[in-house]
């Protein structure tokens, strides 16, 4: 059995060393067990608790700028290491990455696991049953990979044994064909074709950084003439409640689309929750620290209004 525990620096406070001893208490010495630790800053130190975790190896991936980059690199690492099980901690960031990775890799997915056991060399995942009175044991019968989210309360009574990890690999995330920032202030047909904007299901998301009233004729034409979907953030929808365009997010709709272009959207969590099934996200925002950049495959620091106008003109030229 080949197992990896995925840890992310932004939520490392959720990590307790007891999670290591718990997993080691379930598996046997013949099983391979390692840690994949993601750190945003290149050259940053690996936390001591991880260095002395006693696992067979640590893979430290450094320099990520978005959670999509974490997902992409995990896909590549999975192909290299052929893991049977991947564990994530129970927090919003790790859970989001785990769910997206499971969808991409078509793995078994077990959420909110409260315990583990082993049966005939297969892991059993324990979950609270629907009535909150019983515990169900789940076994995956036909999946090569199992992705599980571990709840922290399952580790509270475990004794941690310190042991230095000898095999440590530090990998820059650029190794995994990191996606570059786009210069969308100077759009051309050629670079739009690179992201295949003309041949797939596309939705434009409009946020508060776009002057909706001014660009409405463009949005209307893109929607009616070119069959490009238009979605609004909650804030824009509240400002223009009679708009025919849909609201995207927790209090609106979840979208399933090949390409989502977010224009002037800051990245509130309720809006991000509606983008889980979007295959490719491009975000344009004048704020280089916009939260939505963390969830985007491509980003552009630019005026969303100018980008929208340039995009519209290019689509007309392509016609």
The tens digit of pLDDT for each residue in 25-63 reads: 888 877 899 999 999 988 889 998 899 888 999 999 999
pLDDT digits over 91-116, tens only? 889 998 998 888 878 899 998 888 89
- C-alpha to C-alpha distance for 209 and 192, rounded to whole angstroms: 22
Q: Which residue has the higher pLDDT, 13 or 239?
A: 239
Tell me the pTM: 0.61
pLDDT, average across residues 285-300: 83
Cα dihedral across residues 21, 25, 30, 33: positive or negative = negative
Query: What's the gap between Cα 128 and its chain centre?
Result: 26
pLDDT at 191 over 80: no
Token pair, residue 18, equals 């007891």
pLDDT band at residue 156 under the 50/70/90 scheme: low
pLDDT, average across residues 141-160: 77
Classify each residue of 102-131 as buried b or exposed e, where b means 16 or more C-beta atoms within 10 Å of its C-beta.
Answer: beebebbbbbebebbeeeeeebbbbbeeee
Write down the residue that tokens 């290149």 correspond to: 42
pLDDT at 234 over 90: yes
pLDDT at 83 over 90: yes
């Amino acid at each position: 059995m080949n197992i990896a525990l995925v840890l992310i620096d932004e939520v490392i406070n959720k990590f307790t060393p007891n999670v290591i001893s718990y997993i080691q208490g379930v598996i046997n010495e013949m099983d391979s067990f390692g840690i994949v630790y993601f750190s945003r800053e290149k050259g940053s130190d690996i936390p001591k608790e991880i260095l002395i975790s006693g696992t067979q190896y640590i893979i430290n991936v450094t320099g990520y700028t978005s959670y999509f980059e974490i997902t992409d690199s995990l896909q590549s690492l999975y192909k290299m290491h052929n893991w049977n099980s991947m564990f994530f901690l129970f927090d919003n960031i790790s859970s989001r990455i785990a769910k997206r990775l499971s969808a991409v890799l078509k793995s078994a997915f077990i959420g909110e696991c409260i315990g583990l056991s082993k049966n005939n060399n297969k892991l059993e995942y324990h979950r609270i049953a629907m009535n909150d009175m019983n515990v169900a044991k789940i076994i995956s019968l036909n999946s090569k990979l199992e992705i599980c989210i571990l709840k922290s309360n399952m580790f509270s009574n475990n004794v941690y044994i310190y042991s230095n990890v000898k095999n440590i690999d530090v990998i820059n995330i650029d190794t995994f064909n990191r996606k570059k920032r786009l210069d969308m202030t100077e759009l051309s047909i050629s670079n739009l074709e690179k992201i295949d904007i003309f041949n797939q299901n596309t939705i434009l998301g409009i946020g508060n950084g776009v002057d909706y009233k001014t660009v409405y004729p463009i949005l209307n034409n893109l929607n009616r003439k070119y069959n490009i979907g238009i979605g609004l953030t909650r804030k824009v929808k509240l400002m223009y409640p009679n708009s025919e365009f849909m609201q995207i997010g927790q209090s609106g709709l979840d979208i399933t689309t090949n390409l989502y272009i977010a224009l002037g959207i800051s990245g509130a969590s309720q809006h991000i929750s509606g983008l889980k099934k979007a295959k490719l996200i491009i975000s344009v925002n004048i704020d280089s620290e916009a939260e939505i950049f963390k969830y985007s495959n491509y980003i552009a620091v630019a005026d969303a209004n100018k980008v929208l106008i340039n995009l519209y003109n290019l689509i007309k030229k392509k016609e």
